[in-house]
Structure 1
Amino acid sequence: MAEADLKELILNMAKKAKKASQILATLSSQTKNEILKKVAQKLREKKEELKEINKKDVDQAIAKGKSEAFIDRLTLTDKIVESMAKGLEEVAVLPDPVGEVVKMWKRPNGLLVGKMRVPLGVIAIIYESRPNVTIDAAGLCFKSGNAVILRGGKEAINSNLALGKIFRETLKEFSVPEDVVQIVPTPERSLMEYMLELEEYIDLVIPRGGEGLIRFVTEKARMPVIKHYKGVCHVYIDNEANLNMAKVIAVNAKCQRPGVCNAMETLLVHKDIADKFLPEIAEDYKKYGVELRGCSETLKYIPWAKPATEEDWYAEYLDLILAIKVVNSIDEAIEHISKYGSNHTEAIVTESYTKAMKFLKEVDASVVLVNASTRFNDGGELGLGTEIGISTTKIHAYGPMGLEELTTTKFIVFGNGQIRT
């Protein structure tokens, strides 16, 4: 497609989204909820058709030699389709944040001043190889009153267009503008650059994907960006940990689904328990085929592990690879996380209340857990319904972004004739 045509395409999409967002902001909660439930029903009804379309994307990715973790993120299984449908139904039963008055106070002159939740407007979401994001993002943006432009990765374009079509057809059935949800139909990178210049029509952009994508969007965007940055997540096993619990958590955090951003990438182990804990956990990891890369102390207890390099402490593997470091204290663990972490998800396993509270207070991450797997940094698991992403940007939102995080507040004022003197 010619550059001029790409510019015209994305400009028209943005204009339509802006216009549609004004209508969406006036929809009743009941109507929005009915639409979400209908989309969920259609996802189930068209499951086999969706899987067949998705197979085209998966087959092409396999032919290109994409990794197993990449294929896992790309594939629409029965479980993923059901998860998307359930996610929409969960969002439908959540309270609608739009119009909620979150605070009200009275001034000495009698003015009543309050803050009301309102939609952000038009949100552009740029993501890579996970087609379920199409439905999750569309559902959350829709319920929170925002029009959305979805630009998925080229590897999932067939799947994304099919999912978007289901949502748009349902909107049309309810006489709601289809342009509330739009899928960018072509993968050219230059089109994304043009979109990032349209601050007049797009209020916020959220990139979800690798470090390169996020840096690109942050550098090019003229509108605010909320970063869903990489997840270099740690689990620290304290010398006062329940080691049976620690093994279960450490295996789950790495192996339950290694190709996602809240999977553990580095395991930190206190030196006092390293001789007992590391050989046992290594045997567990061996069963899952995890490649271990350890510091010099780790190699004493796991001689078959590879020596870790400085780059390993920064790495987001998104695969069955794990870096392990033995530390002398909780302070050293926190210092390591501060240097190498990505403000995403951090966990401690300990029976000490004092150490647990120290970890919670001193570790800077969007979610910090005590005696639980990093895999719980997820909107659904934390009770938000599905999520738009996990923000590692502290301003406006930090952590999983649910409905409330997709709104802002405006001041509302009630008077009875007051004037300023």
Structure 2
Amino acid sequence: MSIRDELVEMGRKARQASRALARLSSRVKDDALRAMADGLEEARAELQAANRRDLEAAERAGLSKAMIDRLTLSDGVIASMAQGLREVAAQNDPVGEVVRMWKRPNGLLVGKQRIPLGVIGIIYESRPNVTADAAGLCLKAGNAVVLRGGSEAIHSNRAIAAVLERAAAAAGVPEGAIQVVGVTDRQAVLEMLQLDEYIDLIIPRGGEGLIRFVTDNSRIPVIKHFKGVCHVFVDASADLDTAERIVLNAKCQRPGVCNALETLLVHRDVAEAFLPRVGASLGEAGVEIRGCPQTRRWIPEAREATEDDWHAEYLDLILAVRVVDGLDAAIDHIDRYSSLHTEAIVTRDYANAQRFVREVNSSVVAVNASTRFSDGQQLGLGAEIGISTTKLHAFGPMGVVDLTTTKFVIFGEGQVREG
């Protein structure tokens, strides 16, 4: 069977499964999700054995520490995958919900009801936990899913998918609801992106190169998230202890993820007080600072920032720092360089906080909190399918509800149109 024939067959099975999934009761879906969570925990040794094969290959290939971190199925990652599935099971089922209803002058009742999208294709790199997160969210929302992970995680993804498929089938989920593309050839991605007859939406998760490749080659609508150039602005009124804690957390806790801080903006009035202390703390954490001339005055060891640094998603222990004249300048900088992912302000000025929230149009805007909270689980969505930085049809971290759409329903008593 050719790669195209294999992908077409997967698409056909997924489409058939999606019709059955749309009718599945909440109880069956939730029982399946809990069984899938139990299965992951029970198969921990099996999953980690498969993961070791991927990690050994990654080390031989010279992948970066950030990539290897994303690839690793630690005990904590497996426990988090299972917990995410249980949290999704505990959420209300969005399918069938009537989100709005109104009465027309002719007596018709018109409403909008949530329905599944149908079949969702997920194309992702490195992180094998996406296999469980995506499968769980799609199942809860009544969608079939076709998963195509990166070749660097092929053994991990196959092992996770096998556990999920067994548990879901035993709970009454139709065959074809969860499928993993087992072909590592890049041609499989191109063929998958042509299956608009079977797949309703593509969600890519990975680096900017992957997402642009998917966007450029897909005949299917794509949820885009090119990169995460996240900013923190330390206002003149900020509590500097709070600001330092937020900056260190946002940059250093896990620098290789898309919600990590990449550019720090500091109000001119607090630069002298704040930059030397935060520079010392960042230096102790191993962070390389690239700063504007004013920044380098207060952090002499900082390298000179270039125009490219303001655009950069480092995904590493590197931070661009700029001193700005005030809130207007900070918002202007964010407007020019932001990737619409996540921005934060540290301030004790209520009016400035409200202006920042109102005028910064990224998908997540935080006041006195780390950018690292831009995450589906942290925001209470359970597992996260991804983050959209385009405004159609979702914006920001995407949970179960974002994997549905709405249809109009009309209730009448024999009315006919006369005009």
TM-score range, shorter chain: over 0.9
Could you say which residue in structure 2 is the equivalent of 1:314?
311
Q: Equivalent residue of 2:176, what SS?
A: helix
Identity of aligned residues (%): 59
| AA aligned opposite 1:22 | R
Q: Which amino acid aligns with 1:119?
A: P
2:109 aligned to which of 107, 112, 115: 112
Task: Please tell me whether the aligned partners of residues 84 and 383 of structure 2 are also in contact (alpha carbons under 8 angstroms).
Answer: yes
Partner residue of 1:173 out of 170, 174, 179:
170
Give the C-alpha shift of residue 170 in structure 1.
1.2
Amino acid at match of 1:351: R
Secondary structure at 1:276's aligned position in 2?
helix
Q: Deviations over 1:206-255 (max 9, x none)?
A: 11111111111111111111113310000000111010100000000001
- Indicate the larger mover: 25-34 or 48-57: 48-57
Alignment match of 1:88 (pick from 82, 85, 89): 85
CA displacement, residues 383-414 of structure 1 (integer Å, 9 cap, x when unaligned): 11111011101011000101111000000011
Query: Which residue does the alignment assign to 1:188?
Result: 185
Structure 1 contact 125–206 (Cα < 8 Å) conserved:
yes
State the TM-score, normalized to the length of structure 2. Answer: 0.98
Describe the superposition over 1:104-136 as per-residue Cα deviations: whole angstroms up to 9, x where unpaired. Answer: 111111111110000000000111010001100
CA displacement at 1:265 relative to structure 2: 0.4
| Root-mean-square deviation (Å) | 0.9
The runs of 4+ residues in structure 1 deviating greater than 6 Å are none
Q: Which residue of 1 aligns with 2:246?
A: 249
Q: 1:144 aligns with which of 141, 145, 155?
A: 141
Q: What SS does the aligned partner of 2:309 have?
A: helix
Q: TM-score, normalised by structure 1?
A: 0.98
Distance 1:403 1:175 in 2: 20
In structure 2, distance between residues paired with 1:131 and 1:139: 13
| 1:405 equivalenced with 2:402 (yes/no) | yes
Paired AA for residue 392 in structure 2: I
Aligned to 2:4: 7
Q: Deviations over 1:109-164 (max 9, x none)?
A: 11111100000000001110100011001100000000000111110010001001
Which residues in structure 2 correspond to 1:117-266 (within 5 Å)? 117-266=114-263
SS at match of 2:23: coil
CA distance in 2, matches of 1:40, 1:277: 45
Amino acid across the alignment from 2:287: V
Structure 1 residue 323 and structure 2 residue 315: aligned?
no
User: Matched residue pairs, number?
Assistant: 418
- What CA distance in whole angstroms lies between the structure 1 residues aligned with 2:173 and 2:337? 47
Q: Does 1:359 align with 2:356?
A: yes
Question: 2 CA distance for matches of 1:287 and 1:57?
Answer: 32
Q: Structure 1 unaligned segments of length 5 or more: list them.
A: none
> Match for 1:369 among 343, 354, 366?
366
The alpha carbon displacement at 1:178 in A equals 2.8
In the alignment, is residue 41 of structure 1 matched against residue 38 of structure 2? Answer: yes
Corresponding position: 1:97 with 2:103: no
The answer (yes or no) to whether the contact 1:20–1:147 under 8 Å persists in 2 is yes
Would you say the 8 A contact 1:208–1:229 is kept in 2? Answer: no
Match of 2:276 among 274, 279, 287: 279
How far apart are the structure 2 equivalents of 1:172 and 1:37?
13
Answer yes or no: is the 8 Å Cα contact 2:116–2:405 preserved in 1.
yes
**Deviations along 1:164-192, whole A, 9 cap, x unmatched?**
11111112212322310000101111111
Unaligned runs of 5+ in 2: none
CA contact (8 A) 2:231 2:261 kept: yes
Q: Report if aligned partners of 1:360, 1:368 keep a CA contact under 8 Å in 2.
A: yes
Tell me the secondary structure at the aligned position of residue 12 of structure 1. helix
Distance of 1:39 and 1:340 partners within structure 2:
41
Distance 2:390 2:154 in 1: 28
In 2, distance between residues paired with 1:221 and 1:133? 21
The aligned residue for residue 300 of structure 1 is 297
| 1:350 equivalent in alignment to 2:347 | yes
1:23 to 20, 35, 38: 20
Distance 1:172 1:34 in 2: 11
- 1:420 deviation in Å? 1.0
Letter of the 1:168 partner, please give it: E
Please state whether the residue corresponding to 1:179 is helix, strand or coil. coil
Residues in 1 aligned to 2:169 and 2:122: alpha-carbon distance in whole angstroms: 22
Cα drift, residue 292 of structure 1: 1.0
Comparing 209-218 and 121-130, the one that deviates more: 209-218
1:391 counterpart = 2:411: no
> Contact 1:205/1:226 (CA < 8 Å) preserved in 2?
yes
- The 2-side partners of 1:276 and 1:183 are apart by 53
Please state how far the C-alpha of 1:266 moved relative to its aligned partner. 0.5
